[in-house]
Structure 1
């Protein structure tokens, strides 16, 4: 029961005639000014300022003052908040409240098997891609939702930034309160932010179909918008670009949703001078160095994973260690952000039920987040980022009267949130316990003669109390919410006592009774302080113990990233791949990541010595054709997508990096897939396991691009293909058209009006080919189309650097040599589709004998682990010498990729990319014992064995911890297998790869 004291001046509530709204009133006008004074409260104005026994005064939905000693207006409704806390209501900076998220129509007529939608179906003078929804203004579609507002208010929120969560460019967001008022009265800021993502949402247009396509679309749109400012006649009216430009002055919020996407988004922003506010995904703690380097403010969800029910060991074995580690550590993210001094806000987004928010927030505090920083992340920080701190975010005069009233510190587990006031309107959350019964009271008994006696009363419950004096005396006490009865003796030995009864008026009681002599008395009791909660050490939660963060975040990750060493490999059989050939009993010295000496009887006092006796040392294997370590592989929505870049979506956490290191691979050429004629730009990487995506890149390597011919491109097997081309003749014409457009583009840039030419990322990449600054690796099979493609290249004056697959290469090896191409092929693949019926295992040997530089590639995550054996097959099929066979997976791909001056052989001055084998490197019994990249040991078989033991122990610890959660009665999720998506050449987006159930850390 609340205490409502009204200071009467004529009447309890004064009605004011103010300027009439534009909205008519159907009835009698009743515009109340709403003046309230909340007295004797602990007021937490912001994360830094707390006022004791203070008063908050509000009028007309705004704060008049918050402090001590302020005069209470005569017309104020006074609410006694003794023992209560008042905080600013929370702000959720990432919401779709009142706006909603549209859903893709899956009704009649919708069929995923239907022909692709190649162009936008959005009506109006908008841009070419309907995933660019810059026309969406949340304020124009906003509608108050009382049901959802209630659930958010009950979690402590009073204000939200709401936007439509759909598309790559999502338009503008609106700041609104959660008051149950007309829409025009709750909007705080109409255009508060601009929003972006890498998800095209409900767009049914085919492009983009990949993450790298989404990134390319954003990059091109930034360029197009800059170009559009000059009002180009050719473009006419483009409302998408017009609105885009208008929104650039707003706070820019990017829904990235995960650590690597956060970094990708930031790079887009850096390229165009934009600093995004990034909405994360809850795994950012795994890469705090990279996250901090973005200099972005983050929006962190509190959607922590549930413990899984791993009671059944058959279920448990399919759950990856990474997933179990994430369950344990996710609640620590906000606290780790605080320690790193990274600016962040908190959001209820991603939670199925906003009722979980406070529970999860308290868990985050338990895991290291401080209460002050938590409050700032929900008040001042989001308000400041959105430019509305003058209106919300603290309890300062002039701001909206958005505040919550609680029974104690808001983030304590047993604290009750009583009310949430929004724009001066009271919304009850839970009023049970508003009047704190338990605690200490001062009881004053006044006799008829005016004599007063005071007693200290400790109330324990509705039926238990004691008088605290020299002796503690048990009192007879009862309270039914309104009537109070109290009886007690003044001493333990007294046979007579005082008997009192009265009524409660909030925290003040009064009434009459009799003293020990039976004389009538009056009495009052006033609340002094709440009962102190006794700490019970037996019930205290033990300190949170967490596992280590590793790089990558799985069992084979490093707690500390490996470093370059000075290494001396002694007495090995060294396969130099140089004129020296194979050296028996030789030594190799490595310093600063380079090979510094090759010979015998070498020494270096500072070197770590590795005994190579009976072992073989080779250059690291280079896979010319790979699809590992990416988040998407194909942007197949158009015939020419030279604007997309594999580098934009590298995935350094891919376990295949580690697995291939175990097979001696040190570099991989990561190709776009073969879904279209001109695919995306490739990326050569070094397998620096544990390093970030940028650090994987092979620095200084020439840029390449993927082309494709044949069945994949013309989509022979598709019954619904409506994307040109449909024939091999069409493939040729796509190439001719693409390079003609690129030629025209170059000429326009060189022309008199070159400065006004729209920068086109697609044609820019093709122009690099024409200028011999970018090189082609071409997916190919059939001899006739290989020949026709060479003719196209020669017509436009460029060379097809490498034909990959090239299973009919033996038929046209002479033409390839004359053209200047390399060949990268399989050792013995055949008959897996119609266009490889003429393939044979002698292909590589025949091409080599014709003078071509021949590589053996994998195009397969598993095969790459045994490329040494694939190369060995050419010894059998074609009689290739052992040394030349080994070169097919080392020096030859280095030559094809233009990096043979750095890698591919064991030569002084080259990068120390080396493999120490247990046996002859072409033997099926050979195992890579150590794989070295740039003088750093990234794979060590002995270390691997130790890690497997540690993985088993850590899995057991976490399984037992999850079982403990189950025993405690916590809600559990069913055990879920952990999936590893292995992408391949023909996968048309990042969802379509080979999905394997793979714990990733239990081999």
Structure 2
């Protein structure tokens, strides 16, 4: 017989007795102790220990005892938990509960509006207002029971809360979700330190890019270290003081993206900090790299919704990458578990916390084990924050934070009944405490005798009488009161009406029949209802697509491997003294060019027939802006501290597109927004590798300078950033190197001099350890810049754009500069009025090393054709022209010993063309980097078919989701922002590129 247990009406929450005697009592003080005993429960103490038919005793908000042989105190309120489960309440490490969100004003850098150059924070703080190290979450924390309820209903009992604003966000507070005074719920006032790449509400112009945020963090670590020993030299700097105090706390970094996670981890590695990384949901796309960080991740369960792709025009605008991510994102936690990457789970990022449990169950459906899910919500977060002695398991001495459920906590049909926090009961769905479903024997007694009926109860509002015929019944049960009415036959209506209450072992009450005769009735539980399969909810095994590298249609399921390759009988453009050699073989081995000649052979080599085809060195783009999350840090006139290397984006589809145009190396430049911009990064287009794998190892470091209109910004009437004239640009250069000279002398005299990342880069230039590529147009500025360089003992390595180069080629030759120019761009702004298409040829004939560059993601796919224009405009030979996109940029970038020509011992960066590479009809059939085929025209054709099939599969899957009644969102086009030299990034933490397949859209 089923037992029914009522929670006593008098068992209400008692006022907490504590040290708040200092708080006045408005009324009569209640000093009764709280003591409860939960009996006959299945108690899951932690992931390793589950007790059957056990008892839990709590007093004064703490666990007194738990076990199978527990003495129940005489003053305890006993709560029968038969058939109930008790679990430790969850812990969330990434919350802003109780913290008022800061006002988010218009922020970021806008070159069309006056810039806020200095911090507007009052007090003895540092120079940048995006550093909120002074924020102490415990000082602004306020209990909010309405918001706490949504989290308690999801199973949480404790949260780590902080103000989600800025790059350095101050400290977090660890608090329970009890509805008590703040001083009673706070477990740790300063429990953690928080960081991000997002400047948040700061209206200060710097930083305006991802790389600027990274530079600010790196410089602050250096400044804080210096401040420890030099407070008198600095004076009072509260920003650095608080920063130093917070370094002993757990360090939590909001990355929100797979590449941002790697960027953050590298900052931590540089300064000896292991961050706990807040994820964004796409980290499963790079599990190997995530594991290598050694970090614990905080995983959100904010999965993308299916899109409404019923309209084919809407569907074609959605990238394959976005559709793949919709399908695979719920598998992230399970994939992390499989890979052995430690993680916790958070309700952060969810628009509606009510979705948390449903999404968690979806994660389990997609591969996450229930034990790991529980661990990620209890022990792991509690341990990370140093609070496992208080929360995270059900053990004697810990806080009485636990949830009571109707079954295993993550089972689909399980209901959360109550969440007890610090010994206080908070109902979640308490009317489900006594589950009503089942078969009952109902006995009705009246003057005419008694009759027994069989009653099947499906839920609190649905039941039927089972006999020869099944008779519908009107039924309701609210946990205490029962109402039942039914007819004896199908033809009669409501012939019997009953009402009553539930007791410990049965229902009983009174009623009347149709004639008004009084009745007495009882009901006893017989058995549970048989489980019925709901075909509509039957879940098939989850079938997912595959992770590719990069995560789009043109990615690799397995990264390509270096091969031994023998290319036979091609026309080889050596770029060496041998020139073009007909009918020649080239052997590639161990990533290098091993041999060049006729009739070569190599056992086990992959043979590629080059008959009728042309083999050239890979094209090198001296001036590019692809594969980066941000390009300009334009907030200041000198930002030599920022590095393109810090924000490479290996997912950029332009890497693949440019491989299809024969490009094997690209020099990724900072933009032209400031006089001295950021440090550049030479990459090889190793499609599929991570950001570090793209870097051209061993190459000399460069930096971007700029002159002219982009820098002085006279096109904006609101510009308030110096300089405002061309002569001002010259003065900025002079001043920068004056400061660098003084800094170098100070370092030599005192090695403890405060490190300055900006000046470090300038000192490298003066010491010929870093080299300049300079955006330039007007001859007067070019000449002035060479004079500045000569004054400080260095040279400008390369003038890029250099459209008036033909006017000053003689001076450039004497100075020792290279030229990197466009083939025939002109008339796109005032300072290019004197540009001519003969520029490249004229500079070449003057004896300069001349390159043709792209500065444009689309043009880079046809640099071979851009080079060919100088055959027409200037009469260069084919080989001279082709060297301008191969050997000449290799020389300008100081890597001619590795790339730029086909020579034994050089890197095997090669392109096999279908025709003369200077022809508009030539196609790159195979592009090889370091002996690895990264582009193959035949594979490309096959991938296009696979992309079509995969898109069709995913569109149909989304349509099925809609048809089944699942939530869908309007289709969103997937945009790729293509950055260029003059772009000013609207920075808010991170930059992602969605569009990966042939259906993407682009915006300049």
- How far 1:266 moved relative to its partner? 0.3
TM alignment of 1:887-898, pairs within 5 A: 887-898=883-894
Q: Does 1:786 align with 2:782?
A: yes
TM alignment of 1:751-830, pairs within 5 A: 751=749, 754-830=750-826
TM alignment of 1:175-190, pairs within 5 A: 175-190=174-189
- How far 1:437 moved relative to its partner? 2.6
2:963 to 963, 967, 991: 967
After the TM superposition, which of the residue ranges 339-348 and 992-1001 deviates more from structure 2?
992-1001
Q: Which residue of 2 aligns with 1:247?
A: 246
2:997 to 997, 1000, 1003: 1000
Q: Which residue of 1 aligns with 2:129?
A: 130
After the TM superposition, which of the residue ranges 410-419 and 754-763 deviates more from structure 2?
410-419
In structure 2, distance between residues paired with 1:709 and 1:508: 89
CA deviations on 1:185-217 (whole Å, 9 max, x unpaired) are 111111100000000000000000000000000
Unaligned runs of 5+ in 1: 445-454, 488-499, 514-521
In structure 1, distance between residues paired with 2:376 and 2:71: 32
After the TM superposition, which of the residue ranges 429-438 and 311-320 deviates more from structure 2?
429-438
- How far 1:433 moved relative to its partner? 2.3
Q: Which residue of 1 aligns with 2:324?
A: 325
> Given that residues 589 and 598 in structure 1 are in contact (C-alpha distance below 8 angstroms), is that contact kept between their aligned partners in structure 2?
yes
In structure 2, the CA distance between the partners of 1:29 and 1:528, relative to structure 1 (3 Å rule), is: farther
In structure 1, distance between residues paired with 2:993 and 2:64: 62
> Given that residues 208 and 987 in structure 2 are in contact (C-alpha distance below 8 angstroms), is that contact kept between their aligned partners in structure 1?
no
Q: Give the secondary structure class of the aligned counterpart of 1:432.
A: helix
Q: Which residue of 2 aligns with 1:672?
A: 670
Q: Does 1:693 align with 2:691?
A: yes
1:912 to 908, 911, 927: 908
In structure 2, distance between residues paired with 1:71 and 1:653: 62
1:639 to 611, 626, 637: 637
1:839 to 801, 810, 835: 835
- How far 1:243 moved relative to its partner? 0.2
In structure 2, the CA distance between the partners of 1:539 and 1:243, relative to structure 1 (3 Å rule), is: closer
Q: Which residue of 1 aligns with 2:5?
A: 3
TM alignment of 1:647-662, pairs within 5 A: 647-662=645-660
CA deviations on 1:855-897 (whole Å, 9 max, x unpaired) are 0000000000000000000001100110010000000000000
> Given that residues 435 and 507 in structure 1 are in contact (C-alpha distance below 8 angstroms), is that contact kept between their aligned partners in structure 2?
no
In structure 2, the CA distance between the partners of 1:595 and 1:442, relative to structure 1 (3 Å rule), is: same
> Given that residues 781 and 805 in structure 1 are in contact (C-alpha distance below 8 angstroms), is that contact kept between their aligned partners in structure 2?
yes
Q: Which residue of 2 aligns with 1:105?
A: 105
In structure 2, distance between residues paired with 1:827 and 1:590: 33
CA deviations on 1:593-636 (whole Å, 9 max, x unpaired) are 00000011111121110010110000000000000000000001
In structure 2, distance between residues paired with 1:18 and 1:865: 72
Unaligned runs of 5+ in 2: 444-452, 486-497, 512-519
How many residue pairs end up in the alignment?
966
> Given that residues 441 and 526 in structure 2 are in contact (C-alpha distance below 8 angstroms), is that contact kept between their aligned partners in structure 1?
yes
- How far 1:526 moved relative to its partner? 8.3
- How far 1:18 moved relative to its partner? 6.8
In structure 2, distance between residues paired with 1:5 and 1:903: 80
TM-score calculated relative to the size of structure 1: 0.92
Q: Which residue of 2 aligns with 1:448?
A: none
- How far 1:778 moved relative to its partner? 0.4
Q: Which residue of 2 aligns with 1:866?
A: 862
- How far 1:87 moved relative to its partner? 1.2
> Given that residues 112 and 719 in structure 2 are in contact (C-alpha distance below 8 angstroms), is that contact kept between their aligned partners in structure 1?
no
RMSD: 3.1
In structure 2, the CA distance between the partners of 1:843 and 1:459, relative to structure 1 (3 Å rule), is: closer
In structure 2, distance between residues paired with 1:439 and 1:48: 33
- How far 1:427 moved relative to its partner? 1.1
- How far 1:68 moved relative to its partner? 1.2
CA deviations on 1:231-266 (whole Å, 9 max, x unpaired) are 343310000000000000000000001000000000
> Given that residues 478 and 485 in structure 1 are in contact (C-alpha distance below 8 angstroms), is that contact kept between their aligned partners in structure 2?
yes
Q: Which residue of 2 aligns with 1:412?
A: 411
CA deviations on 1:31-70 (whole Å, 9 max, x unpaired) are 3321111111111112222111111111111111222121
CA deviations on 1:454-508 (whole Å, 9 max, x unpaired) are x9999767756899xxx9x999998866578999xxxxxxxxxxxx998522455
In structure 2, distance between residues paired with 1:793 and 1:158: 63
Q: Which residue of 1 aligns with 2:43?
A: 43
After the TM superposition, which of the residue ranges 523-532 and 848-857 deviates more from structure 2?
523-532
Q: Which residue of 1 aligns with 2:446?
A: none
> Given that residues 455 and 463 in structure 2 are in contact (C-alpha distance below 8 angstroms), is that contact kept between their aligned partners in structure 1?
no
In structure 2, the CA distance between the partners of 1:503 and 1:354, relative to structure 1 (3 Å rule), is: closer
> Given that residues 283 and 332 in structure 2 are in contact (C-alpha distance below 8 angstroms), is that contact kept between their aligned partners in structure 1?
yes
In structure 2, distance between residues paired with 1:12 and 1:255: 41
In structure 2, distance between residues paired with 1:203 and 1:182: 32
- How far 1:535 moved relative to its partner? 4.8
In structure 2, distance between residues paired with 1:320 and 1:12: 55
Q: Does 1:943 align with 2:939?
A: yes
In structure 2, distance between residues paired with 1:867 and 1:726: 35
Q: Which residue of 2 aligns with 1:287?
A: 286
Q: Which residue of 2 aligns with 1:355?
A: 354
The runs of 4+ residues in structure 1 deviating greater than 4 Å are: 4-8, 11-20, 110-113, 439-444, 455-467, 473-487, 500-503, 506-513, 522-532, 534-539, 990-999
> Given that residues 194 and 253 in structure 1 are in contact (C-alpha distance below 8 angstroms), is that contact kept between their aligned partners in structure 2?
yes
Q: Which residue of 2 aligns with 1:157?
A: 156
> Given that residues 198 and 987 in structure 2 are in contact (C-alpha distance below 8 angstroms), is that contact kept between their aligned partners in structure 1?
no
Q: Which residue of 2 aligns with 1:876?
A: 872
Q: Which residue of 2 aligns with 1:374?
A: 373
Q: Give the secondary structure class of the aligned counterpart of 2:567.
A: strand
- How far 1:131 moved relative to its partner? 0.4
In structure 2, distance between residues paired with 1:573 and 1:551: 33
Q: Which residue of 1 aligns with 2:94?
A: 94
> Given that residues 801 and 821 in structure 2 are in contact (C-alpha distance below 8 angstroms), is that contact kept between their aligned partners in structure 1?
yes
After the TM superposition, which of the residue ranges 785-794 and 430-439 deviates more from structure 2?
430-439
After the TM superposition, which of the residue ranges 807-816 and 73-82 deviates more from structure 2?
73-82
In structure 2, the CA distance between the partners of 1:7 and 1:361, relative to structure 1 (3 Å rule), is: closer
> Given that residues 714 and 731 in structure 1 are in contact (C-alpha distance below 8 angstroms), is that contact kept between their aligned partners in structure 2?
yes
Q: Give the secondary structure class of the aligned counterpart of 1:264.
A: helix
Q: Does 1:34 align with 2:34?
A: yes
Q: Which residue of 1 aligns with 2:191?
A: 192
CA deviations on 1:738-790 (whole Å, 9 max, x unpaired) are 11111111111111xx1320011100010011111100000000001101110
- How far 1:540 moved relative to its partner? 2.4
In structure 2, the CA distance between the partners of 1:931 and 1:81, relative to structure 1 (3 Å rule), is: same
- How far 1:100 moved relative to its partner? 2.8
In structure 2, distance between residues paired with 1:100 and 1:609: 66
After the TM superposition, which of the residue ranges 868-877 and 478-487 deviates more from structure 2?
478-487
- How far 1:103 moved relative to its partner? 2.1
- How far 1:101 moved relative to its partner? 2.2
In structure 1, distance between residues paired with 2:645 and 2:78: 63
In structure 2, distance between residues paired with 1:432 and 1:504: 13
In structure 2, distance between residues paired with 1:15 and 1:307: 48
In structure 1, distance between residues paired with 2:245 and 2:851: 52
In structure 2, the CA distance between the partners of 1:433 and 1:226, relative to structure 1 (3 Å rule), is: same
In structure 2, the CA distance between the partners of 1:539 and 1:301, relative to structure 1 (3 Å rule), is: closer
> Given that residues 7 and 77 in structure 1 are in contact (C-alpha distance below 8 angstroms), is that contact kept between their aligned partners in structure 2?
no
- How far 1:401 moved relative to its partner? 1.1
1:886 to 882, 886, 902: 882
Q: Give the secondary structure class of the aligned counterpart of 2:22.
A: coil
Q: Which residue of 1 aligns with 2:230?
A: 231
TM alignment of 1:474-513, pairs within 5 A: 504-507=502-505
In structure 2, the CA distance between the partners of 1:63 and 1:525, relative to structure 1 (3 Å rule), is: farther
Q: Which residue of 2 aligns with 1:722?
A: 720
> Given that residues 2 and 79 in structure 1 are in contact (C-alpha distance below 8 angstroms), is that contact kept between their aligned partners in structure 2?
no
In structure 2, the CA distance between the partners of 1:71 and 1:815, relative to structure 1 (3 Å rule), is: same
Q: Which residue of 2 aligns with 1:987?
A: 983
> Given that residues 318 and 998 in structure 1 are in contact (C-alpha distance below 8 angstroms), is that contact kept between their aligned partners in structure 2?
no
> Given that residues 779 and 803 in structure 1 are in contact (C-alpha distance below 8 angstroms), is that contact kept between their aligned partners in structure 2?
yes
In structure 2, distance between residues paired with 1:746 and 1:265: 29
Q: Which residue of 1 aligns with 2:58?
A: 58
